[in-house]
Amino acid sequence: MMQAYEGYFQDGRFYAAGTAVRIPERRRIILTVLDEPARDENLTLRLDTISKFLESIDACDEEVPDFERIKLRDAEI
């Protein structure tokens, strides 16, 4: 069965829009890069904010506790 996923490409990774994507091993893939930006205008700002947050945690000299999984907007993180 053929499937299609919409998303965006950043820092060498593909991010599916709002869903987790599992691609079976050893499948033929056709990737089409469109000549248009991602639809979410706030996406870059949110991704930059998350990156800065993670960089701050990495740079922190304090012990960082493990966080339990939570649900935001019905999506498990």
Among residues 10, 6, 2, the alpha carbon closest in space to that of 28 is found at 2
pLDDT, tens digit (0-9, with 9 covering 90-100), for 42-75: 777 788 888 888 888 888 888 877 878 777 776 5
- The pLDDT, as a whole number, for residue 14 is 80
Give domain status of residue 42, yes or no.
yes
Give domain status of residue 76, yes or no.
no
- The pLDDT, as a whole number, for residue 74 is 63
Q: Are residues 43 and 50 in contact, defined by beta-carbon separation less than 8 angstroms?
A: no
Number of domains making up the chain = 1
pLDDT band at 17 (very low <50, low <70, confident <90, very high): confident
Question: 25: domain range?
Answer: 7-60
CA–CA separation, 4 and 31 (whole Å): 10
Mean pLDDT of 33-49: 77
In DSSP terms, 16 is beta-bridged to 7
Among residues 58, 61, 77, 59, the alpha carbon closest in space to that of 69 is found at 77
